[in-house]
Amino acid sequence: MFSLIKEEDFKDSFSQISTPAYVVEEEALRRNGEILKSIIEETGCKILLAQKAFSNYDFYPLLSQYISGTEASGLYEARLGAEEMPGKEVHVFCGAYSEGEFTELLKYADHIVFNSPAQLKKFGKAAKEAKKSIGLRINPECSTQEGHDIYDPCAPGSRLGTTRQVWEEEMTKEWIEELDGLHFHTLCEQDADALEITWKAVEEKFADVLPKMKWINLGGGHHITRPDYHKELLKKILMEIKEKWKLQIYLEPGEAVALNAGYLVCRVLDIVKNKEEEIAILDTSAACHMPDVIEMPYTPPLYGAAGVGEKEYTYRLGGPTCLSGDQIGIYSFSHKLQEKDILLFGDMAIYTTCKNNTFNGMPLPAVWKRDMEKRMVKLKEFGYEDFKMRLGSKSR
């Protein structure tokens, strides 16, 4: 994930920008795009960008060279995809649509997926009259995740997707005939073997429905661009589905599109001590600038650092906010950290810029592009007005 970064980059590129800042690597996006495009060409599937993970639309013209369109979680993302990736497909799934937004949504979406039979019956005819392709999200009740219950749509009590029991109780012949496709999304940062297990569960529960459909959306969570991902198994699964069921297949990864394509550059503000532990306070915040570090939780990769005790000097890294749990992780270094040292966190293009916040009045990091010639280009800078105007109407 740091394969494009060399030691001299800290002086030539990163030391020249104000921190904290996100940097998106154009070369890495292109590399991911080429992998996804090869899957599309070899299997005939279509791959969509799940914008919930990466919605930096300055890069949409680049990505549109490789993928089939965008996946949205609601009205605003659907509009963004339609406006910034014109000519490409716009798909949308939402846990529930409101009447006010649905009419406007019809202006932007090509495919609309409903979460329940009730929502299908409420909005399906309007979508069909607007010549939209419509689908229903199903819940195959097959969990393949471990340790990430918050991201498991098949967990007990899940509100996402229609189980076979609910299908039997609420889906009439009329509405089954209206459906164009089925959608499921059960994976999270997983390999093709998890998809294989899930697909067997889908076939077992919905084999009688699949022949009536035109398309199947296998959702996201596919880590296709990860170096050790089993691409050949994925292609085998896709070709078997295509040949057996004669369906157009969609995948909608978010992470795979921008995996390992971004960094978060920050600086050390202070070093404090608690008993024998040294703690570095940074000018970036896990809670504000990389919330998945706390929500997932996980310890993000850090350039030049190692795990606890692997190198001579160990530090706990945290943000400057008042939240005691605003901690990024514990790392070891070959040198002592000092005020103003630059640190570079990896895999920060996904679930960062689209999820960050201004808790404690923390400034939002600027967004930069590192282009194919390794030049730094500022795309977006934020200031006090961005913080202030989120919650009020008065400008200065």
Show Cβ contacts of residue 99 under 8 Å, excluding neighbours closer than 6 positions. Answer: none
pLDDT given for residue 396 in this prediction:
63
For residue 145, name the pLDDT band (cuts at 50, 70, 90).
confident
Mean pLDDT of 236-246: 98
Q: Residue 291, Cα to own-chain centre: how many angstroms? A: 13
pLDDT given for residue 394 in this prediction:
77
pLDDT given for residue 11 in this prediction:
86
For residue 219, name the pLDDT band (cuts at 50, 70, 90).
very high
For residue 149, name the pLDDT band (cuts at 50, 70, 90).
confident
Mean pLDDT across the chain: 96
Tokens 């294989």, residue located: 196
Mean pLDDT of 76-99: 98
Measured over the CA atoms of residue 47, residue 51, residue 55 and residue 58, the dihedral's sign is positive
Cβ contacts of 59-62, under 8 Å, gap ≥ 24: 59/24, 59/26, 59/29, 59/369, 60/84, 60/85, 61/85, 62/26, 62/29, 62/30, 62/33
Structure tokens at 145: 């995740």
- Single out the residue of 280, 361, 285 nearest to residue 325, CA to CA: 285
All domains of the chain in start order, with CATH: 9-24+261-388 (2.40.37.10), 44-258 (3.20.20.10)
pLDDT tens digits along 107-122: 999 999 999 999 999 9
**φ, ψ at 34 (rounded to 5°):** -65, -40
Provide the strand spans (E) within 100-165: 111-114, 133-137
Q: Are 179 and 212 within 8 A, CB to CB?
A: yes
Mean pLDDT of 323-331: 97
**φ, ψ at 288 (rounded to 5°):** -95, -40
Residue type, 302: L
**φ, ψ at 193 (rounded to 5°):** -65, -35
pLDDT tens digits along 2-34: 989 998 998 889 999 999 999 999 999 999 999
Residues paired with 46 in a beta bridge = 250
- Single out the residue of 298, 247, 305, 258 nearest to residue 280, CA to CA: 305
**φ, ψ at 192 (rounded to 5°):** -70, -25
Mean pLDDT of 349-363: 97
pLDDT tens digits along 28-66: 999 999 999 999 999 999 999 999 999 999 999 999 999
Structure tokens at 56: 């930096």
As a whole-number percent, the residues of the chain with pLDDT over 90 amount to: 94
pLDDT tens digits along 377-392: 999 999 999 999 988 9
Residue 95 has pLDDT above 80, yes or no: yes
pLDDT given for residue 395 in this prediction:
66
pLDDT tens digits along 266-318: 999 999 999 999 999 999 999 999 999 999 999 999 999 999 999 999 999 99
Mean pLDDT of 139-165: 91
**DSSP 8-state secondary structure symbol assigned to residue 340:** T
pLDDT given for residue 157 in this prediction:
92
pLDDT tens digits along 164-203: 999 999 999 999 999 999 999 999 999 999 999 999 999 9
